[in-house]
Chain A
Amino acid sequence: MRYFLRRWMQAVFLLIGVSILTFLFSAIAPGNYFDEMRLNPQISPETVAALRAQYQLDRPLPVRYARWVNSLLHGEMGFSFANNSPVAPLLWARARNTLLLTLTATLIAWALALPLGIWSAETRGRLPDRALSGATAALLVIPELVLALGLLILAVRSGWFPTGGMFSVGFEILSPMQKFRDVAWHMELPVLALVLSALPILVRHVRAAVAEVLDAPFLRAAASHGIPQRTLHYKYALRAAANPLISLFGFSLGVLLSGSLLVEVVMSWPGLGPLLLEAILARDLYVVIGGVLCSTIFLVAGNFFADVLMYWADPRIRTGAAAK
């Protein structure tokens, strides 16, 4: 339990650190929403000054930070000037969509990477392994942006996939089942882009981790005891290779979150990505801070989940032996 408590404390400190960091960045930034407004001849300087005062942007940084924390505690996370509403509800709607995309992609990527990686490790040096290594290497040299745009062009030209967005026209009148299928259909392309971008890294790591374990004496001994290969590889080897793979989980989530940002913009998925981009272009300060913090929360949550998995998979942590 002490283990979790420590991890929890670390996560909280991390989030506080990130929020302070983004606030510091925003403070040294030369422009803000109202500077853009000032360029607009239809708005008088007095109005701008009044608005600045209303949102307390003329106050010193610690005061602004304290007010922001206060509004966070009230579930608002500051105020979006461009949308004229508190940030939290804006973020929440978008974050849900990003989460849907990222989690689905994470699940699928791992579900594919584990068997493929194990298969690759089993057939080391032989045809399946070489073919897989070639394929992952080929995928590895295609960056996400190139992949996402390529898939989109493919979709547009073939008509197999919807070309963006999350819902079809007339989504509101569909039955729940139809709604589900409609969203799933719209998800196919962005999820495919994300899975393909994460898969080569995951497969390579799984292969490396499992290959190392397959060489270990204890596994050879177990094999000589006549335990069937399938059980051996999927139960024993995977269990022994779990540690590096679980830490890879947090990493993969980070990669997919970043990737999702881009894929969402390219495929106009209404997630955090487009929101953040609009906020940047409009200099909508608190939305940017909120979006960054939100992504950090996801990542921290993912890492926490990995820690729970690790605790479950590694008896050394449970007994506290690994902490020393």
Chain B
Amino acid sequence: MIQLSGWKRWLLAIVVLHGIVACAGFFAPYDPTEQDREHPYLPPMRIHLVDTQGHFHFRPFFYAEQLRVGSFDQFEEHSQQAIPLRFFVTGARYDLLGLLPFRTHLFGAEASRVYLLGSDAYGRDQLSRILYGGQISLLAGMLGAGLTLLIGVLIGATAGYLGGWRDGLLMRVAELFMALPWLYLLFALRAFLPLSVSPVQAFFLIILVIGAVGWARPARLVRGVVLSARERDFVRAARGFGATDSYLLRRHILPETSSVILTQAAILVPQFVLAEMTLSFLGLGVPEPVPSWGSLLASLQQYSVLVSYWWMYLPALAIVPFFLGYLGLASALQQDAGTEKIVRTAGGSRW
């Protein structure tokens, strides 16, 4: 009766996108911190199939680039030196999914480094940095959303199940959190935590801050569901069998909140990835040399970068497909919950 295909398709898309980022080591040609001082701010390379003599090549190739004479940031293609693009090459060592040591990369080249999306001030490969940066940003977003939902469900279920003055108090506090513009709240929380910390500390600090900001809305939604589930006949019936509160919550009430939680997760994860990006962009997040989508954009705050090196903006676009995927998933889930409800009530009364 319930059609799953709608949201499953979106979920598949998201899983694929995350898979690419999770296996960054394979898809990225280089280590994200490896520098190449010869090629700072190299624009994205052009990949050719036809050489300067007009000959067609089956294997894509690119030309080695070198600084134009008398310039410090203008590069030109070295037309005598065509370097073929190679697939499944052996390169820098990495741990696939953080576990398996590997050396195979999807693509690369032998004589020179290839920069599909250009390089940064230290000649680090942008593509590799975007892929690795996604790991930090997405993980922070997901863990932050997990934390938020955990807090939200705990508080929402407590308020909804206990009711009375506890409910009133918790919901007033939730309103307080919702009354603040969320970015200001994020800033305020971040403001009161230490600034100069190691990347790992910063990472967990950010998850903590992000997680603490968003709990109010899921808490209110969960509370609403729990409040109405508590009065359902099947909960009453189970109470009539002598069921304890913890049994009722576990078996009957919390399962009712699952669709709300799933939808909220699909809404919160991209929002929190963005929150991480924002904090790191402003220098309040994970510091150099660890890449994250936000810190990759931080260089754009310099006017000179903005003017001359447009490809430094490319990391910003990385989040767009993820946003699309999560947005699609969230609306498909919402639609699904709507029709499921209709199907259920119609089925209940028709028989």
Contacts and interface: CB of A to CB of B under 8 A. Distances in A.
B323 A142 contact: yes
Give the interface residue-count category, chain A. Answer: 35 or more
Contacts of B323: 140-143
Given A150-B313, A254-B181, A281-B283, A31 B195 contact: yes
B234 interface: no
Contacts of A87: none
Given A141-B324, A145-B274, A146-B319, A280 B183 contact: no
B321 to A, nearest CB: 8
B1 interface: no
Given A14-B176, A163-B303, A146 B317 contact: yes
A25 B192 contact: yes
A146 B188 contact: no
A17 interface: yes
A116 interface: no
Question: By DSSP majority rule, is chain B's interface helix, strand, loop, or mixed?
Answer: helix
B316 interface: yes
Contact of B184 (A140, A257, A265): A257
Given A146-B316, A150-B316, A156-B306, A276 B277 contact: no
Interface in B151-197: 172-173, 175-176, 179-185, 187-195
22 contacts: A17-B172, A18-B180, A26-B192, A140-B327, A141-B327, A143-B277, A145-B281, A145-B316, A153-B300, A153-B313, A163-B303, A255-B181, A257-B183, A262-B278, A276-B191, A280-B187, A280-B195, A281-B283, A291-B187, A296-B180, A296-B181, A300-B179
Contact of A261 (B183, B192, B283, B284): B183
B226 interface: no
Interface string A281-294: 10100001101100
B181 A149 contact: no
Interface string A82-106: 0000000000000000000000000
Interface in A1-60: 14, 17-18, 21-22, 25-26, 28-31
Contact of A149 (B173, B193, B300): B300
A142 to B, nearest CB: 6
B278 A145 contact: yes
Nearest to A300: B179
Q: Give the one of B179, B281, B313, B320 with max A CB within 10 A.
A: B179
B297 interface: yes
Interface of B: 172-173, 175-176, 179-185, 187-195, 270, 274, 277-278, 281-284, 297, 300-301, 303, 306-307, 310, 313, 316-317, 319-320, 323-324, 327
Contacts of A137: 327
A54 B191 CA distance: 23
Contacts of B181: 254-255, 257-258, 261, 295-296, 299
A18 B194 contact: no
Given A145-B278, A292-B184, 5 more contacts: A28-B192, A145-B297, A153-B313, A254-B182, A265-B282
A280 B277 contact: no
A254 B185 CA distance: 12
Contacts of B313: 149-150, 153
A121 to B, nearest CB: 18
A32 to B, nearest CB: 9
Contact of A146 (B176, B184, B303, B320): B320
